[in-house]
């Protein structure tokens, strides 16, 4: 057996979060991902994002987005180095970038500019606002997208200030979407022999994620707002509830779960109570139901309720990050993997969420700056019979 993307070569002009997150998925699945980094800038910016570092130029942040990749140092504004990039893409399946929308064409990274060298090449572009339109030259980041796309109006308690997600959810979803786009275009290129440009932007993904809330507004004029206890906008019970020692999140998003819950908490009569007998009735009486459920659930601890509900009612503890990572179930699922870092030794990280039964995914640390430059230059030189011009070696 082999990994799904074994034999695929991707040249990545990438930095920071969204782009490297997407190509890390591809590297985890066996693709050879070659990061192009400018040595004059100390490599990609993620290397300097602190406050935690394994060694100079190698931050915890950088390691979180770049495992299983290679690194080559090239200044794409330098004609010689640009020529090396062209030689790389001649034997590559895809060229990926997450640059500002106006930069790919300025740097010569589009399909139209490169197809003469490799007609099958896929050029995948991830930008803030796209490569066309009035904002193509605008920089942009995750939190800005959350703000503009309405996420902050949906997150937090109704009487609190606007609140963002606690993680860079748009970066990660856009990176994942870009990985899907690249692989989809690659399938097409292999079928037709013709590559293409394919585009993903932070803004487009942020807006697309509005999903059913967008459909409600666009067709019915319904504007979804924040609900108490992080509640689902239309289904209940589907929110936070108090327990004897903290909180529990219940999600009875099918009617069958409501009946099971009512019986397990000793309130079978609620299944026929006209105030609570169906989704519509419970939504109309959500505030009262919250009070009554709190009263019942506060008679036992979160752990005790989870033991009672386990496998029957969708429920989860409300963990902090440490509790989430230290949980026995996360370990059981193999979600924490160990890498051997050249300076630190054993380093733990979160595993790829894609599973390939029968295969163990690679788990190599992110490369040091330019770690693979010499080997790649030698490879290219041998392929073209120009070893001396690249390395000075006769």
For the domain covering 238-318, report its CATH number.
Answer: 3.30.1540.10
CATH of 9-208+333-384, one of 4.10.410.60, 3.40.50.10540, 3.40.50.300, 1.10.3720.10: 3.40.50.10540
Dump pLDDT digits (tens) for 11-50: 999 999 999 999 999 999 999 999 999 999 999 999 999 9
Confidence class of residue 386 from pLDDT cuts 50, 70 and 90? low
> Which tens digits make up the pLDDT trace of 93-137?
999 999 999 999 999 999 999 999 999 999 999 999 999 999 999
The answer to whether residues 13 and 96 touch, using CB atoms and an 8 Å cutoff, is yes
Question: Residue 245: pLDDT above 60?
Answer: yes
Average pLDDT, integer, range 299-307: 98
For 268-291, what is each residue's pLDDT tens digit? 999 999 999 999 999 999 999 999
Domain with CATH 3.40.50.10540 in the chain: 9-208+333-384
For residue 382, what pLDDT band results from cuts at 50, 70 and 90? confident
Kindly report, residue by residue over 125-174, the tens digit of the pLDDT: 999 999 999 999 999 999 999 999 999 999 999 999 999 999 999 999 99
Confidence at residue 390, expressed as pLDDT on a 0 to 100 scale: 53
User: Is pLDDT above 50 for 391?
Assistant: no
Query: Are residues 95 and 13 in contact, defined by beta-carbon separation less than 8 angstroms?
Result: yes
Rounded to an integer, the average pLDDT of 312-324 is: 97
Contact 138, 101 (CB under 8 A): yes
Domain with CATH 3.30.1540.10 in the chain: 238-318
Average pLDDT, the chain: 95
């Amino acid at each position: 057996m082999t990994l799904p993307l074994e034999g695929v070569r991707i040249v990545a002009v990438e930095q920071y979060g969204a782009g490297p997150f997407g190509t890390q998925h591809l590297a985890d699945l066996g693709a050879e991902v070659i990061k192009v980094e400018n040595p004059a800038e100390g490599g990609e910016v993620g290397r300097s994002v602190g406050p935690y570092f394994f060694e100079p130029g190698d931050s915890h942040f950088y390691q979180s987005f770049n495992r299983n990749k290679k690194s080559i140092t090239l200044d794409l504004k330098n004609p010689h180095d640009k020529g090396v990039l062209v030689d790389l893409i001649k034997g590559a399946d895809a060229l990926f970038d997450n640059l500002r929308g106006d930069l790919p064409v300025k740097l010569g990274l589009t399909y139209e500019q490169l197809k003469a060298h490799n007609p099958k090449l896929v050029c995948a572009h991830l930008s803030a606002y796209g490569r066309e339109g009035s904002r193509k030259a605008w920089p942009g980041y995750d939190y800005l997208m959350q703000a503009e796309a309405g996420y902050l109006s949906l997150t937090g308690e109704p009487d609190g200030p606007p609140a963002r997600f606690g993680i860079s959810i748009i970066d990660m979803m856009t990176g994942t979407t870009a990985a899907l786009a690249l692989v989809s275009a690659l399938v097409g290129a292999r079928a037709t022999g013709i590559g293409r440009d394919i585009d993903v932007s932070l803004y487009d993904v942020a807006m697309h994620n509005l999903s059913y809330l967008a459909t409600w507004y666009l067709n019915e004029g319904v504007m979804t707002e924040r609900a108490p206890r992080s509640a689902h906008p239309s289904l209940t019970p589907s929110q936070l509830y108090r327990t004897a020692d903290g909180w529990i999140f219940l999600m009875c998003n099918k009617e069958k779960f409501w009946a099971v819950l009512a019986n397990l908490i000793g309130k079978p009569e609620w299944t026929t109570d006209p105030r609570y007998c169906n989704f519509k009735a419970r939504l109309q009486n959500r505030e009262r139901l919250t009070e009554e459920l709190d009263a019942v659930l506060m008679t036992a601890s979160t752990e005790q309720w989870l033991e009672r509900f386990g496998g029957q009612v969708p429920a989860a503890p409300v963990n902090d990050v440490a509790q989430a990572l230290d949980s026995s179930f996360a370990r059981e699922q193999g979600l924490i993997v160990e890498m051997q870092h050249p300076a630190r030794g054993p380093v733990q990280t979160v595993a790829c969420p894609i599973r390939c039964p029968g295969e163990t995914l690679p788990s190599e640390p992110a490369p040091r700056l330019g770690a693979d430059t010499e080997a790649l230059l030698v490879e290219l030189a041998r392929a073209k019979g120009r070893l001396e011009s690249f390395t000075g070696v006769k």
